[in-house]
Structure 1
């Protein structure tokens, strides 16, 4: 199986296991900058040079050799599951993606038809009941994870433990795991433990949120989106996953 979702600097100073919706754009750009002294011009997920990625065939042997020998400092980043799945909803379900289309083609029309989810019209800019639509999406997310219907769970709302564990199961070991909510503190630990070609001052590094602007602006506090049933669905989704 190898090490899917793993990125490594070209200098092999550090190894990072990507967890979707957990500051991966900012982390990738910091890694890129640490080697090249500049940020990648565009979404770091689109880069094909300047950063080793498991998705790039030529990088796989280098990553595998490094990780299995634990040659470099290895880390990942996690996030509060409530804010993570809410972010996934606004970005991937309500938002128009970088290619100008809806995420995963017929996914959104299916959600509209089968679950009654509203997404703000064709352009995502019309008013709609965000709270009601999110709760219906949450039911869909539960169905994909518990029953794998009407589709397999998507990486953006599947459990973080599933992403993180593949690195360990296949022979890797983490040196550090930190929270998105304490990003600067956690990332500074990483930087303190590696040697970079270019010095990084986190206070001067912009936060790269590539999903920002894809979808409608969240109108309510996070807690307003979760009623008693939503809390139970979150437990059903992620508690059960961790027990499998």
Structure 2
């Protein structure tokens, strides 16, 4: 299986396991800057050079060597499951993507047809019942993750623990897992622990939110989207994420973690 979703600086200063919808665009650009003293011109996910990525054949040897040797600082970043799945809905389902098309071709028409969701019209800008449509989307998320139908789960809403675990299974070990909700604090810890060719001043780093503006704005507070049934579905799908990364399942309005992440617990439970 190797190390899917794993990026490493060309200087081999640090390794990052990408978790979609968890500040990955900003983190990727910080890694690029730390090596080259400049940001990648475009979406960092499109970069074919300037950063080692598992998806690039020439990068697989260096990444494997460094991960298995556990000689390079490795980290990842996670996010509250409630806000992450909401963000996925507005970006990937309601939004028009960078290529001017809907995400994954026939996915949205399929959801409109089979689950009765609305997405704000052709351009994602029309008024629609966001709460009702989101709750119907959650049924689809549950079906795809639990039953792999009507399709396999998508990386943007599959559980974070699944992404994080592949790195561990094949011999990797994390030195740090931090939360998007305390991004500067967590990212600074990573930067303090490594040596980079170029110094990164986090206070002056822009946020590279590549999904910004793709879809309609969220019209309600987070908690309004989750009734009892929605919360039940969320717990069924993301129980491990809440437990391991210390988020508050009981209160969707509280996006902040409730305790410290125990790295030994993460490695023990996700390495099983």
Same fold (TM over 0.5): yes
Q: How does 1:12-161 map to 2 (within 5 A)?
A: 12-161=12-161
Partner of 1:165: 165
Task: Tell me the CA shift for residue 39 of structure 1.
Answer: 0.6
Partner of 1:224: 224
How far does the alpha carbon of each residue in 1:136-185 deviate from its partner, in whole angstroms, 9 at most, with x for none? 00010000011111000100010000000000000000000000000000
Task: Give the structure-1-normalised TM-score.
Answer: 0.98
In the alignment, the residues of structure 1 paired with residue 131 and residue 63 of structure 2 have an alpha-carbon distance, to the nearest angstrom, of 42
Conservation of the 8 A alpha-carbon contact between 2:161 and 2:240 = no
Task: Tell me the CA shift for residue 82 of structure 1.
Answer: 0.3
Task: Tell me the CA shift for residue 80 of structure 1.
Answer: 0.3
Consecutive unaligned residues of structure 2, counting only runs of 5 or more, are: 244-268
Partner of 1:193: 193
Task: Tell me the CA shift for residue 240 of structure 1.
Answer: 7.4
Instruction: Say whether 1:177 aligns with 2:177.
Output: yes
* Structure 1: 4+ residue segments shifted above 4 A: 240-244
In the alignment, the residues of structure 1 paired with residue 210 and residue 237 of structure 2 have an alpha-carbon distance, to the nearest angstrom, of 26
In the alignment, the residues of structure 1 paired with residue 237 and residue 142 of structure 2 have an alpha-carbon distance, to the nearest angstrom, of 6
In the alignment, the residues of structure 1 paired with residue 75 and residue 185 of structure 2 have an alpha-carbon distance, to the nearest angstrom, of 14
Find the residue that maps to 2:8 and give its secondary structure.
strand
How far does the alpha carbon of each residue in 1:2-41 deviate from its partner, in whole angstroms, 9 at most, with x for none? 0000000000000000000000000000000000111111
Task: Tell me the CA shift for residue 72 of structure 1.
Answer: 0.9
Say what the alpha-carbon RMSD is for the aligned residues.
1.3
In the alignment, the residues of structure 1 paired with residue 92 and residue 164 of structure 2 have an alpha-carbon distance, to the nearest angstrom, of 21
In the alignment, the residues of structure 2 paired with residue 96 and residue 212 of structure 1 have an alpha-carbon distance, to the nearest angstrom, of 11
Find the residue that maps to 1:15 and give its secondary structure.
strand
In the alignment, the residues of structure 1 paired with residue 184 and residue 237 of structure 2 have an alpha-carbon distance, to the nearest angstrom, of 29
Task: Tell me the CA shift for residue 239 of structure 1.
Answer: 2.6
Number of paired residues? Answer: 244
In the alignment, the residues of structure 2 paired with residue 101 and residue 2 of structure 1 have an alpha-carbon distance, to the nearest angstrom, of 31
In the alignment, the residues of structure 2 paired with residue 240 and residue 59 of structure 1 have an alpha-carbon distance, to the nearest angstrom, of 31
In the alignment, the residues of structure 1 paired with residue 218 and residue 203 of structure 2 have an alpha-carbon distance, to the nearest angstrom, of 26
In the alignment, the residues of structure 1 paired with residue 142 and residue 240 of structure 2 have an alpha-carbon distance, to the nearest angstrom, of 11
Q: How does 1:199-210 map to 2 (within 5 A)?
A: 199-210=199-210
Task: Give the structure-2-normalised TM-score.
Answer: 0.88
Task: Tell me the CA shift for residue 236 of structure 1.
Answer: 1.4
Find the residue that maps to 2:75 and give its secondary structure.
strand
